[in-house]
C-alpha cells in the first residue's frame, strides 16, 4: 500500500500546504481520499492525471474536503481527454443528496455521459476493493464526518481520520494501525470543538496502539509550533508532521 499526502492543509490558504487530500495506491487503483480546493493540480504535480482517478472517498461534506468533486466531474467531460472508465465515489450519509444539488446547480457540465458514475454512502459500513478491506466509522465532527480504516491483503493497516475530535470511535478505528494519518488542526491553547490538537491526536494513537502517527490538516498557525514535542507528551511511537507530497509505503513482512 502506497500513500501520498497530497494536501496537508485546510480551508485557510497556505503557501506551504494545499487543502485536504490523501492518495492511496490500492493494488492498481488510484484512490483519492478527500479533494479540497486545487486537488487536481496538486495530484498532477505528483504524476496523477484526473482521468486516472479510479476511486473517490470522502470523509464529510465540508468544502475544504469535497469542493473539487465537482471539478473532477467537470474535467471528465473536457476533450480530448473525455473520461471513459467508471468512477466510483464513496462517502458519508448525504453524499447522494450533495451530488444531486451540485448537478442541479451546474447542470449538464457535470453529467457522466461517457462513463459510469457510481455513488455509495458507506458510513459505518465495510467494503472490499482489490483485496483491500475498507471500514468506516462515524467520528465526532460538527456537521458530521467519518474516518477510514484500510487493511491491505497482507494485513497492514492505515487509518485516515478526516476531521474529528477525540472520541472512542476514533480509537477503535485506529486500533493497532501501522500508520494513523490524523488531523491536527490547532495547537493546544487554540483547541476547537470537533478538531484535534497534537496532544489529543497523540492520545488516540497511544490508546489505539498505533505504530506511526502522521499529522495532517494543519491550520497555518500550527507551523509556528513544535507539534512533535507536544505529541510526545502522550505518545512514544514514531511521530511525523505531514508535508505535501510526503510518501509512505506499507510493505508486508516476509517470514522465512
Residue 167 has pLDDT above 70, yes or no: yes
User: What pLDDT, in 10s, does the model give residues 98-133?
Assistant: 999 999 999 999 999 999 999 999 999 999 999 999
Is the pLDDT score of 144 beyond 80?
yes
For range 76-84, the mean pLDDT: 95
Over range 157-174, report the average pLDDT: 98
Q: Which domain holds residue 189?
A: 2-243
Residue 95: predicted pLDDT: 98
Residue 255 lies in a domain: no
CA dihedral 25, 57, 101, 219 (to 10 degrees): -100
Asked whether residue 181 is domain-assigned, the answer is yes
pLDDT interval class at 4 (50, 70, 90) = very high
Checking if the pLDDT of 256 tops 60, the result is: no
* Structural domains of the chain, count: 1
The answer to whether residue 45 is domain-embedded is yes
Mean pLDDT of the chain: 96
Whether residue 155 is predicted with pLDDT greater than 70 in this model: the reply is yes
Q: Output the pLDDT for position 254.
A: 52
CATH of the domain at 16: 3.60.15.10
Residue partners of 101: CB distance under 8 A and separation at least 6: none
Q: What percent of the chain has pLDDT over 90?
A: 96
Beta-carbon contacts of residue 59 (< 8 Å; ≥ 6 apart): 33, 34, 65, 91, 92, 145, 146, 147, 148, 160, 161, 162, 163
What is residue 143's predicted lDDT score, i.e. its pLDDT? 84
Residue 251, pLDDT score = 86
User: Model confidence over 26-55: pLDDT tens digits?
Assistant: 999 999 999 999 999 999 999 999 999 999
Q: Of 164, 133, 138, 162, nearest to 150 (Cα)?
A: 133
> What is the percentage of the chain residues whose pLDDT exceeds 70?
98
Amino acid at each position: 500500500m502506497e500513500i501520498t499526502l497530497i494536501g496537508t492543509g485546510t480551508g485557510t490558504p497556505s503557501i506551504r500546504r494545499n487543502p485536504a487530500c490523501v492518495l492511496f495506491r490500492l493494488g492498481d487503483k488510484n484512490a483519492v481520499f478527500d479533494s479540497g480546493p486545487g486537488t487536481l493540480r496538486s495530484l498532477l504535480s505528483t504524476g496523477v492525471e484526473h482521468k486516472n482517478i479510479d476511486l473517490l472517498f470522502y470523509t464529510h461534506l465540508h468544502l475544504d474536503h469535497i469542493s473539487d468533486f465537482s471539478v473532477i466531474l467537470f474535467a471528465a467531460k473536457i476533450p480530448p481527454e473525455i473520461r471513459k472508465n467508471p468512477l466510483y465515489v464513496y462517502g458519508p450519509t448525504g453524499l447522494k443528496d450533495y451530488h444531486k444539488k451540485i448537478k442541479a446547480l451546474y447542470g449538464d457540465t457535470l453529467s457522466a455521459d461517457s462513463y459510469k458514475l457510481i455513488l455509495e454512502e458507506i458510513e459505518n459500513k465495510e467494503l472490499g476493493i482489490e483485496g483491500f478491506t475498507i471500514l468506516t466509522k462515524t467520528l465526532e465532527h460538527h456537521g458530521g464526518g467519518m474516518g477510514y480504516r484500510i487493511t491491505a491483503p497482507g494485513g497492514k493497516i492505515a487509518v485516515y481520520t478526516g476531521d474529528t475530535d477525540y472520541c472512542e470511535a476514533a480509537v477503535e478505528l485506529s486500533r493497532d494501525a501501522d500508520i494513523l494519518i490524523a488531523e491536527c488542526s490547532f495547537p493546544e491553547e487554540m483547541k476547537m470543538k470537533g478538531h484535534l490538537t497534537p496532544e489529543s491526536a497523540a492520545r488516540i494513537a497511544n490508546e489505539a496502539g498505533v505504530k506511526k502517527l502522521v499529522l495532517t490538516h494543519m491550520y497555518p498557525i500550527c507551523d509556528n509550533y513544535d507539534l512533535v514535542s507536544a505529541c510526545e507528551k502522550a505518545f512514544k511511537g514514531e511521530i511525523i508532521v505531514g508535508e505535501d507530497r510526503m510518501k509512505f509505503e506499507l510493505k508486508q513482512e516476509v517470514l522465512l
